Amino acid sequence: MLFHRRIIFVVLISLFAAFVCVAQKKNERPAVNTPKAEVPVAGAPSYSYRFERPGFLTSMMHLEHDGSGKGKITFLRDGNDEEITENVKLPATVVEKIDALYTTLKFLDSTENYQYEHDRSTMGNNTFTLTRDGRTRTAKFNWTTNEDAKALMVLYRGIGYEMVWKFEVELARENQPLETPSLMQEMESYLRRNEIADPTSLLPYLKNITTDERFPLMARNRAESMIKQIEKVATKNK
């Protein structure tokens, strides 16, 4: 009888151990497959634009992107010590404009100094770097009379204005909604001065604002007005 009890006891212990083992496996955190970092394609182009001007509302702006428009922007608001970095995806039309200007400038083959004969560093310093097929060239100027170099400067600044503006809008929507009408007015000014790289790419963002009740009515109305303005210009330019 004692022998049988021992056998039963051993069997019960074994069953309990098996149950605990199964339970532990069920509670284990599943293995996570960490995605591999994207490896840059050899010879693929990369672009960099940096603007620096202490005293401006945005005193530093650095945009980096690849040939698909994917990249990041880092900027510094005047009076702040902390840099802000946001991911960006430039529209294909904007990347095409950038490529066209670099091609017209024959940037990688050129040795031209685009700097105007008089220093205008009070307007801010611009630094352009293009890397393609293992070749890299950097050019820096604060003002230029070269129309294509000037167009490239205006184009990149317009990209930066839009990205920083969107950041400010998101911040205001969450924390200070009453500031959003003045931000809408700021974008209206950019559009009037033709300083936004691709106004039509703003349309989805502005349309979201018009239906978002976290924005005051005045801000939503201004967004609606900008939509009509952009669509009108786009139709005219077709």
Does residue 33 or residue 102 have the better pLDDT? 102
Residues 73, 74, 75, 80, CA torsion sign: positive
Residue-level pLDDT at 20: 41
pLDDT at residue number 218: 97
Query: Is the model's pLDDT at 8 over the cut of 90?
Result: no
pLDDT tens sequence across 124-177: 999 999 999 999 999 999 999 999 999 999 999 999 999 999 999 999 999 999
pLDDT at 43: 64
Structural contact between residues 167 and 180, judged by C-beta atoms closer than 8 angstroms: no
Which CATH topology does 42-157 take?
Mago nashi protein (3.30.1560)
Mean pLDDT across the chain, nearest whole number?
Answer: 86
128 bridge partner residues: 49, 139
Tell me if residue 151 falls in helix, strand or coil. Answer: helix
Q: Where are the domains of the chain?
A: 42-157, 176-238
pLDDT at 81: 83
Instruction: Please give the share of the chain, as a percent, with pLDDT higher than 70.
Output: 82
**Residue 75 to residue 63: CA distance in whole angstroms:** 9
Tally of CB atoms within 10 A around 192: 9
List pLDDT tens digits, range 185-211.
999 999 999 999 999 999 999 999 999
Q: Which residue has the higher pLDDT, 7 or 72?
A: 72
pLDDT given at position 193:
95
CA distance 58 to 51: 9
Q: pLDDT tens digits for 223-235?
A: 999 999 999 999 9
If you count them, how many residues does the chain have?
A: 238
